[in-house]
Amino acid sequence: PTIFVITPTYARLVQKAELTRLSQTLLHVPQLHWILVEDSPHKTPLVTDFLAKSGLSYTHLHTPTPKDRKLQEGDPSWLKPRGAEQRNEGLRWLREDRRAQQGADSQQGVVYFADDDNTYSLQLFEEMRNTQRVSVWPVGLVGGMRYERPVVEGGKVVRFHTGWRPSRPFPLDMAGFAVSLRLVLDNQDACFDGDAPMGFLESSFLQGLVTMDELEPKADNCSKVLVWHTRTEKPKMKREEALQAQGLGSDTAVEV
Ligand code: UGA
Ligand code: MN
């Protein structure tokens, strides 16, 4: 089965670096289609050129986060969910595209939501490839913990190891689950709620799709960390700004 990876992305200084790192991971994964969704009112030249040269099978989409849902400069990062509209746009395209394809094969696949800044082991993709409904695994360096994970007893997920609100329907990071394409196609309305309170974005999507009892634990009964919620430091531009003030800033024609 093909793995469809949906990635929201937005313009910032480190964007091309993040996309380079992620795309070069994805290049090692067989049978993968990348759905890259820009948080933007238009497709940017940087991402367009980047994808054309990436060597990946991809679909390039865009949709802006409405202003009232977008984080403003200075807002704490947890105030509003990020990437919700973009993941929904990816789902919309996928459902439409699959409907247009003929044959039972077009309904087979796996959907994974991969943020552009995390770190993914190649093994993770093989773990998720035979997902029947929803598969789950640990995520490292997330939620103020060494890792969060589903707790498995007798081959079943019985609860979640998390430091925060374990009572959430699915206290999982976005990086910690994959969904079968079949389930996505059979539940046309399942999507992310851009108004979900902090920590409930993943639950807003998974709630109607599965129960805890049905989750398929991967990565050795959720005992191995194969994905890390890494976050990239925002580069400081003090020297650049000082030089710019003297008319000596870096050449803006050089893409970073
Ligand atoms: C955590 C989770 O790992 C995310 O999956 C979840 O979307 C997010 O919290 C949330 O609460 O909304 P975090 O590292 O804090 O992630 O979020 P980011 O990595 O900054 O953003 C998640 C994705 O959305 C990234 O792929 C990023 O490029 C994209 N994004 C971010 C946008 O498309 N637009 C934005 O304005 C910000
Ligand atoms: Mn992130």
Residue 218, ligand 1, Cβ within 6 A: no
Q: Which atom of ligand 1 is nearest to the CA of 70?
A: 36
Domains detected in the chain: 2-245 (3.90.550.10)
- Check if 240 is active-site: no
pLDDT value of residue 49: 98
- Categorize the per-residue pLDDT at 216 as very low, low, confident or very high, splitting at 50, 70 and 90: very high
- Is the whole-model pTM more than 0.90? yes
ipTM field: 0.98
Answer yes or no: is the C-beta of 82 below 6 A from any ligand 1 atom.
yes
Over the stretch 123-157, which tens digit does the pLDDT of each residue have? 999 999 999 999 999 999 999 999 999 999 999 99
Q: Which residue has its alpha carbon closest to ligand 1 atom 14?
A: 231
By the 10 Å C-beta count (0-12 exposed, 13-18 middle, 19+ buried), 66 is classed as exposed
**In 3-state terms, what secondary structure has residue 163?**
coil
Closest ligand 1 atom number to CA of residue 37 = 33
148 lines ligand 1 (CB under 6 A): no
pLDDT cut 90: percent of the chain above it: 89
Res 197 pLDDT > 80: yes
Determine whether 233 is exposed, middle or buried from the number of CB atoms within 10 Å of its CB (0-12, 13-18, 19+). Answer: exposed
Which of the four pLDDT bands, split at 50, 70 and 90, describes residue 69?
Answer: confident
pLDDT in tens, 90-131: 999 999 999 998 888 889 999 999 999 999 999 999 999 999
Average pLDDT over residues 150-168: 95
Q: Is 248 helix (H, G, I), strand (E, B) or coil?
A: coil
Residue of minimum CA distance from atom 27 in ligand 1: 9
- Tell me the ligand closest to 22's alpha carbon: 1
pLDDT at position 77 is: 73
Contact (Cβ atoms closer than 8 angstroms) between residue 193 and residue 201: yes
Mean pLDDT of the chain: 96
For ligand 1, atom 26, name the residue with the nearest CA: 115
List pLDDT tens digits, range 6-23.
Answer: 999 999 999 999 999 999
